[in-house]
Amino acid sequence: MREIALVYLDRSGGLQKFVHDCKKYNDSKQSYAVYRFIISINPSDIAELDATLGNYILHNPIQAAQIFQSVCFVAIQTLSLIEQLQTEAQISIVLKPTHLPPLPSYVLSLSAFPFDYTSQRFYMSEGIAIAMGTVTKYTQGARFLCTEDTCPFSEGFSYIRVHMPGATESATVRNDFVCSLCSSPLQEDMKFRVLGDKQVVEMIDAKVLNALKGFSSHKSHFRIQTFTVFLR
């Protein structure tokens, strides 16, 4: 699947964009713990190249991102795109689909039962934004070092924390991480923290418009509830 991912990146122009993004990182004077890349993907085109990879991206996007992570790391090492990069864990890949199959199973509807949305795959959702919070910062990635000076992990990039979809802020940065080698506390190297923007949006199902119009339902009663969306 790594070979197919590379072929797709080459044919779709994603590889050229990736090289351009790497150049911006390489020319920057800032130190990064994590190098974040957004890769646009067309699920239909990938499925034509390889159905297995296409289904993997649609239904296991977090694991599929690791395939592209591996491909991008090899490309960086082979072409010497980012001199500061040391480990594959420093690469964060965000897969951004251009569209999803127009099938009911890919539509997230919080008004339909049962709520069978336990998988972490892509869904489409439509609604009305009724409130928006201010744009704030969150930690996309951080570097931790072992506090024991004699430990090999007291330097380098062995401990990299990257924000994952659905995770809380404390899953990325907190003060109770310990070294897996010597069990000493880990301390964050603040100058390598990578920040991003996030915004909280309160949304409500579009069916609420029928209620506001005085739409009469055969049901004796119904309830409409908002849901929260995190934009990162």
* pLDDT of the residue at 216: 58
Q: What is the pLDDT of residue 114?
A: 62
pLDDT digits (tens, 9 = 90+) for 103-148: 888 888 776 766 677 778 898 888 899 999 999 999 999 999 999 9
What domains are defined for the chain?
1-102 (3.30.1640.10), 137-196 (no CATH)
Residue 159's nearest CA partner among 176, 140, 146, 147 is 146
- According to the 3-state scheme, what is the secondary structure of the chain? CHHHHHHHHHHHCHHHHHHHHHHHHHHCCCCCCCEEEEEEECHHHHHHHCHHHHHHHHHCHHHHHHHHHHHHHHHHHHHCCCCCCCCHHHEEEEEEECCCCCCHHHECCCCCCCCCCCCCCCCECCEEEEEECCCEEEEEEEEEEECCCCCHHHCCCCEEEECCCCCCHHHCCCCCCECCCCCCEEEECHHHCEEEEEEEEEEEECCHHHHHCCCCCCCCCCCCCCEEEEEC
Min mean pLDDT across 84-88, 160-164, 214-218 is at 214-218
The predicted structure's pLDDT at residue 217:
58
User: Over the stretch 52-95, which tens digit does the pLDDT of each residue have?
Assistant: 999 999 999 999 999 999 999 999 999 999 999 999 999 999 99
